[in-house]
Amino acid sequence: MKTIKGPAIFLAQFAGDSAPFNTIENICTWAASLGYKGVQIPSWDSRLIDLEKVAKSKTYADEYKAKVEACGVHITELSTHLQGQLMAVHPAYDAMYDGFGPDSAKGSPAKKYAWAKEQLQLAADASRNLGISVMASFSGALLWHTVYPWPQRPAGLVEEGFKELANRWNPIFDYCNDRNVDVCFELHPGEDLHDGITFEMFLEACGNHPRAKLLYDPSHFVLQQMDYLQFIDFYHEHIRMFHVKDAEFIPSGKSGVYGGYQSWVQRPGRFRSLGDGQTDFMAVFSKLSQYGYDGWAVLEWECCIKHPEQGAAEGAPFIENHIIQVTEKAFDDFASAGSDRDLNRRILGL
């Protein structure tokens, strides 16, 4: 067993144009003042990182890392969620994802894909230069519009979709493999990788590429009404990152997991600030510790009710109080009688 690192915080939901959220020094100093020991950095946000410079210059990367650590926190990982999303965009969603990439790629799925691929390679180089072996991402989606099987899916549609998704990601995995960086997918509705079964389908299509890993976020499984603890039993060998995010599902006679097109406040399933939802984090941290997860526990704050700064302030002690310092000895070692082969054979009556 190993002890989880933390607490850390994902900066994407807090970055802004006003202090203390407008520069990497300001936001890291703010995070450290709340008790966070690490920060997960959104690689697309130029207010917080120049991804190309960090990727192409080890000297600059060292200086950037030192600047962050001087504020009292470590860089836990880089996030490439927006870039990963653009690796596969169905035409029906193209306009809705225009804001995820540069203006030059608007209206062009091919340009979005080319930009995303380049960005992911830069993120892999940047991670290597920063001494980090994992990065977070989304898979993108070609099949999501068929998630409910009506009209009936044509035979072979799902297999073809995952084959194409694998064709797009395998070159990224190979690139990351040369740099000793894992791509950790956050399983998320709206992505073709949104639960354990779809992750297995993707792995098979990718030839079980060793760089395809998981970012575990129990909140998405609460909203899908999955067993988020048993998920750890099934997939712990693939889990390399951990978002600590809470959620709740309150059954309704009017709508269910699809939400009835309602806003987050009205949906039966909604994300909540840590401790305000239904996730059993004592059990989550216990399971992860049991299986030897020793990565970071990173707050991803998303709540439709509570103010983000209150959520951030409450999040650091919440995570700190859930991290288990794993034991190095058995609780009943005091009663040990020692052991040798002769003793064992006598106990067995041999």
Cα(327)–Cα(17) distance, rounded to whole angstroms? 44
Ramachandran assignment for 180, one of left (phi > 0), alpha (psi -120 to 50 degrees), beta (any other): left
- CA geometry: angle at 312 spanning 309 and 317, to 5°? 140
* pLDDT class of 118 with cuts at 50, 70, 90: very high
* DSSP three-state, residue 123: helix
* pLDDT class of 333 with cuts at 50, 70, 90: confident
The closest of 45, 163, 140, 145 to 86, measured between CA atoms, is 140
Q: Per-residue b/e over 17-40, b at no fewer than 16 CB within 10 Å?
A: eeeebeebebbbbbbbebbbbbbb
The DSSP 8-state label assigned to residue 154 in this structure reads P
Tell me the percentage of the chain whose pLDDT exceeds 70.
99
Q: Determine the pLDDT at residue 281.
A: 98
Chain centroid, CA 223 distance in Å: 16
Average pLDDT over residues 58-82: 98
Cα(175)–Cα(211) distance, rounded to whole angstroms? 10
pLDDT of 335 strictly over 70: no
Q: Determine the pLDDT at residue 229.
A: 98
Chain centroid, CA 336 distance in Å: 42
For the chain, the average pLDDT equals: 96
81 close to 138: Cβ distance less than 8 angstroms: yes
Residue with tokens 């709340």: 34
Which tens digit of pLDDT belongs to each residue from 222-260?
A: 999 999 999 999 999 999 999 999 999 999 999 999 999
What are 137's strand-pairing partners?
80, 185
* pLDDT class of 334 with cuts at 50, 70, 90: low
* pLDDT class of 175 with cuts at 50, 70, 90: very high
189 close to 226: Cβ distance less than 8 angstroms: no
Q: Determine the pLDDT at residue 1.
A: 85
Q: Provide the CATH number for the domain formed by 5-347 in this structure.
A: 3.20.20.150
* pLDDT class of 330 with cuts at 50, 70, 90: confident
107 close to 158: Cβ distance less than 8 angstroms: no
Instruction: Enter the pTM of the model.
Output: 0.95
